[in-house]
């Protein structure tokens, strides 16, 4: 499989530098991968990317702002916990954050612009699912299909995390490389589900830490989630072929989030994988990539 060298270019809003990489033949149908909360583009398993390339896609992945090799926010970190609490009470906090998920969606469209891609299939995982939902709302003319994986609508009454999973995700990391990597592995295990692989988690956590570790980014990204509100009504106007894919064993974003997303988007497909947690485990790559290819065919 042919992959480009990762590039960092000023392609986000306001000249924001974003890191991206391409895989496969550029003459094939483009597919943009959008990763989740604090996760770098290298969190997309290379075997899964290869499977998508084999299915005829030109795959593009990028680091969201505040993670990986893309630009990091300057200034004081927002009080994300307080913003989340106020947002859950129905308060609009969008004026108090540096950016929202809609801004992050525009970043992804900027990557497509930079590559000269007019329209693409988009696939997002977790917070990335929220971002591609925003793409479907704001940039429908740029999308061929949408796949929202292990995500939710922003409605605080659905998709709730189990307490252990949320605590693990939001507890500040320890100090020191080895301790941080071990903590990343532990968090991954808690949310990973029955097909979790320690070897895969260790490899991914070590690679992620050594590539870029920016704990401050979590507060900025969480604030963006809080400020973006409930997308349910906006999703009702989406006409792009849309797939919701979720694991029944997901302890971080519960099944009700997937059901609510599928209900919100007219004609959306829903695929539930019984053995999947909040992870992209290798045994399920064929099913996941088949489902993505299936919704892509609906755009033809």
pLDDT in tens, 148-182: 999 999 999 999 999 999 898 888 899 999 999 99
What CATH number is given for 7-161+215-297 in this structure? 3.40.50.1820
Confidence of residue 299 (pLDDT cuts 50, 70, 90): confident
> Residue 49 belongs to what H/E stretch?
helix 46-54
- pLDDT surpassing 90 at residue 104: yes
> What tens digit of pLDDT does each residue of 195-241 get?
999 999 999 999 999 999 999 999 999 999 999 999 999 999 999 99
pTM over 0.95: yes
Q: Average of pLDDT values for 177-193? A: 96
* Separation in Å, CA 159 to CA 26, 219, 247, 269: 36, 20, 12, 18
- The region of weakest confidence among 58-62, 91-95, 107-111 is 91-95
The SS3 call for residue 259 is helix
Element holding 246 (H helix, E strand): strand 242-247
Give the pLDDT of residue 89: 85
Confidence of residue 34 (pLDDT cuts 50, 70, 90): very high
Check if the beta carbon of residue 109 is closer than 8 Å to that of residue 137.
no
């Amino acid at each position: 499989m042919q992959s480009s060298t990762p590039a960092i270019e000023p392609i986000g809003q306001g000249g924001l530098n974003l890191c991206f990489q391409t895989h496969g033949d550029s003459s094939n149908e483009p597919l943009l991968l959008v990763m989740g909360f604090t996760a770098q583009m290298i969190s997309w398993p290379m075997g899964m990317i290869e499977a998508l390339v084999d299915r005829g896609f030109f795959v593009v992945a990028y680091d969201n702002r505040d993670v990986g090799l893309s630009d990091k926010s300057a200034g004081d970190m927002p009080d994300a916990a307080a913003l989340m609490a106020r947002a859950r009470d129905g308060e609009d906090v969008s004026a108090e954050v540096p950016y929202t998920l809609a801004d992050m969606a525009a970043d992804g469209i900027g990557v497509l612009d930079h590559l000269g891609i007019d329209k693409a299939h988009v696939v997002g995982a977790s917070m990335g699912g929220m971002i591609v939902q925003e793409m479907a709302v704001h940039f429908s003319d740029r999308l061929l299909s949408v796949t929202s994986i292990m995500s939710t609508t922003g409605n605080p009454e659905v998709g709730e995390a189990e307490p252990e999973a949320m605590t693990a995700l939001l507890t500040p990391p320890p100090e020191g490389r080895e301790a941080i990597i071990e903590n990343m592995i532990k968090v991954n295990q808690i949310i990973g589900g029955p097909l979790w692989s320690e070897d895969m988690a260790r490899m991914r956590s070590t690679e992620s830490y050594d590539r870029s570790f920016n704990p401050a980014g979590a507060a900025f990204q969480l604030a963006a989630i809080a400020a973006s509100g409930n997308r349910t009504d906006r999703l009702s106007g989406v006409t792009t072929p849309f797939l919701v894919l979720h694991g029944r064993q997901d302890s971080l974003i519960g099944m009700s989030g997937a059901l609510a997303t599928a209900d919100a988007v007219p004609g959306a497909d829903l695929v539930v994988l019984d053995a999947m947690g909040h992870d992209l485990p290798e045994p399920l790559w064929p099913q996941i990539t088949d489902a993505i290819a299936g919704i892509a065919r609906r755009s033809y």
